[in-house]
Structure 1
Amino acid sequence: MRWYDEHDCPSCQLTACDYSGPEAMPAEGRTALLTAHGPARLRLPGPLGDPVAALRVLRAEPGVTLGLARQLLDELREFGLTGTAVEMAWRRARLAERGVAAEVEAGFGRAYRYVGPPELWEWAVDLGSPGGQPVRTEGEFADWAAARTAAELAEPFTFTVDLGGALRLAPRRSEHVACAGGELVLSAGEIGFRRSDGGGGGDRDGGGGGRAGGGWEVGTVGNLSTGYCPDVASWPAVAAALDRLALPHPGSFTDPVVFRRCPGCGRCGIVREGHHVCVFCDADLPERWNVDDVPLP
């Protein structure tokens, strides 16, 4: 697998092309692709018949140790692996050569990178790991809820959805960038849980009765995150994370926030009551989300 990076010099008008062999793509290029196009998911259509073959494929990738290969194998078997579309297509082809069938699925649109104060991002990265607790299964959510006090559960929580589609939860006043460990997210905001009435609640497609979500459901959920400023179009990623936990939910953001960056003064603000005018300089704001546009050819 190789990568190329073409760029034009605005001064001399010359075009240059950087090229690499098998080493990993530079982080800034990979981030740009994920931000503009979102991640793709590599998943198994059924049980993994030959885990040793899959492990050998993962272990053969540059920079992958045996321990990391085993971790990737567990991810593949349980939830699938995520990355750029090219990376996942390359892994699918290598697995097929070893007789392991896998499928590549599109993700949930763009990913969002942190756009807040740089010092907060540096602080979050220095922590070494995401501050938010990942909950990927019904059992993990049940354990997480059981460890919270009644006072904690009475308030909304900070949440992010990572590139793997997992919900990460932290106390309400936590920084979203800390919850995500400075990484890209599929969405971010605040979420509140409440005890369900036992009837399933919510408007989740295919929602059933009984004790879905272990007796919990989503009461409120919004995309208020001034660190990531996600678009309201990020809801499908949130819904998928909640469906994985069998948590009934309202079917959309109950507290949607419309973020826009002013093309005049460059500041980011919130559009209120559909009034697309910058509160800082009175310039007109665009209709589409533009907080962190990444130009790609």
Structure 2
Amino acid sequence: MTGGEQGVRMAVRCTDCGGTAVRSVGQFLTHGRELWWDAERSCPQCGAACCEDSDQDAAPQDVREALLTAHAPARLRLTGPLTDPVAALRALRGDADLSLQQARELLDRLRDFGLAGTAVEMAYWRARLAERGVAAEVADGFGRAYRYVGPPELWAGGGDGGTGGGGTGGGHGQPVRTAGEFAAWAEDRQAAELAEPFTFVIDLGGALRLAPRRSEHVACAGGELVLSAGEIGFRRSRDGWEVETVSNQSTGYCPDTTSWPAVATALARIGLPHPGAFTHPVVFRRCPRCARCNVVREEHYACVFCDADLPEQWNVDVTALP
């Protein structure tokens, strides 16, 4: 995966005639190390066309979300031991508007589980690190990224706009990345809390984030894209903690059942035994006729609102044009 250029075409409303226009957004590298993005719009009905923007900078949130949901996140990992952390910090800070603390957080992610973002962003950071003698590689992430599709009023916060730094936006859920972090988190919970499932998301970096059951998933994720979301319950076993139940029940993100590998990877990283699949899988589909979101029950792929046929493939937030 080189990640030199990525783009996506989406259907949007034409501001001139009210018809359906095509918005094309992209991100690319020039000279092997300069990160650029652009966006343009054209309407086949009225002929209106314009270049929305182009800049040598991190892409804005809407552009990053379009690319991440269309192409899935990429992952940047070190290819060997980090012998010069100072060089890596300098590469991560560079001429970007990052504080030393932000750069350290990025470095911690890079050393631990890798950075995550668009393939172009990861290629950019790989080039910056290589200039400082730090070897890293860009690989596939953990599957599809899901953006929030629930009621806007349930998320009054906002993301950080995207720094191009691999999912650095801070989620509101408690991040749990290691066995020690999980043990500390469980120790702080009351018995009544542990008796019921918790809200969870898997962020773009592959980390499990936990919040009380009645928390909104979008709040748990801090408004960011996720690799999966749902509810998860734990129990004590003779050998310690393990996952008792886990589902993809999230009407805010409506993740597909195929998001399970991202959950399994996060749990394995913590060292938590798990059932091997969603114990309560939920099949979400959007009706192509009335656009309402459905939960498919007993493999009956028909809209409960208008009785139209539902597709077999996940389509809740498919925005990219062929």
Decide: shared fold, TM above 0.5: yes
1:253 aligns with 2:278: yes
1:86-165 matches, cutoff 5 A: 86-123=120-157, 130-165=171-206
Deviation, structure 1 residue 46: 2.4
Q: Give CA deviations for 1:118-156 in whole Å, capped at 9, x if unaligned.
A: 111225769x95331110111000111111122211111
Q: Is the 8 A contact 2:145 2:225 kept in 1?
A: yes
Query: Aligned residue for 1:207?
Result: none
1:255 and 1:70 map into 2 onto residues whose CA distance is 38
Q: Is the 8 A contact 2:172 2:221 kept in 1?
A: yes
Query: Aligned residue for 1:191?
Result: 232
2:158 and 2:59 map into 1 onto residues whose CA distance is 23
Deviation, structure 1 residue 45: 2.3
Instruction: Identify the structure with the greater strand proportion.
Output: 2
Say if 1:176 and 1:124 are closer, same or farther in 2 by CA, change over 3 A: farther
Q: Give CA deviations for 1:189-235 in whole Å, capped at 9, x if unaligned.
A: 0011111233xxxxxxxxxxxxxxxx011111000001110000100
Deviation, structure 1 residue 170: 0.9
Q: Secondary structure at 1:256's aligned position in 2?
A: coil
1:279 and 1:51 map into 2 onto residues whose CA distance is 56
Deviation, structure 1 residue 78: 2.3
Query: Aligned residue for 1:70?
Result: 104
Q: Give CA deviations for 1:19-75 in whole Å, capped at 9, x if unaligned.
A: 534222121111111112221111112221111221111111432233322222222
1:222 and 1:97 map into 2 onto residues whose CA distance is 43
Deviation, structure 1 residue 185: 0.7
Task: Identify the range of structure 1 (46-55 vs 110-119) with the bigger mean alpha-carbon deviation.
Answer: 46-55
Q: Is the 8 A contact 2:234 2:241 kept in 1?
A: yes
In structure 1, the gaps of 5 or more residues are: 199-214
Q: Secondary structure at 1:94's aligned position in 2?
A: helix
**Alignment: residue pair count:** 280
Partner letter of residue 70 of structure 1? Answer: R
1:101 and 1:164 map into 2 onto residues whose CA distance is 19
1:280 aligns with 2:314: no
CA RMSD of aligned residues (A): 1.9
1:53 aligns with 2:84: no
Q: Secondary structure at 2:155's aligned position in 1?
A: helix
Q: Is the 8 A contact 1:24 1:62 kept in 2?
A: no
Q: Secondary structure at 1:2's aligned position in 2?
A: strand
Partner letter of residue 243 of structure 2? Answer: V
1:36 and 1:21 map into 2 onto residues whose CA distance is 21
Partner letter of residue 276 of structure 1? Answer: Y
2:155 and 2:71 map into 1 onto residues whose CA distance is 22
1:79 and 1:63 map into 2 onto residues whose CA distance is 23
Query: Aligned residue for 1:267?
Result: 292
Q: 1:5 aligns with which of 39, 48, 55?
A: 39
Deviation, structure 1 residue 242: 0.2
1:61 and 1:234 map into 2 onto residues whose CA distance is 36
Q: 2:246 aligns with which of 221, 224, 230?
A: 221
Say if 1:125 and 1:67 are closer, same or farther in 2 by CA, change over 3 A: closer
1:161 and 1:124 map into 2 onto residues whose CA distance is 18
In structure 2, the gaps of 5 or more residues are: 1-34, 161-168
Partner letter of residue 67 of structure 1? Answer: Q
Query: Aligned residue for 1:28?
Result: 62
Q: Is the 8 A contact 2:38 2:55 kept in 1?
A: no
1:21 and 1:166 map into 2 onto residues whose CA distance is 31
1:232 and 1:252 map into 2 onto residues whose CA distance is 9
Q: 1:239 aligns with which of 221, 240, 264?
A: 264
1:7 and 1:124 map into 2 onto residues whose CA distance is 25
1:145 and 1:69 map into 2 onto residues whose CA distance is 29
Q: Is the 8 A contact 1:5 1:19 kept in 2?
A: yes
Partner letter of residue 195 of structure 1? Answer: R
Q: Secondary structure at 2:41's aligned position in 1?
A: strand
Say if 1:74 and 1:125 are closer, same or farther in 2 by CA, change over 3 A: closer
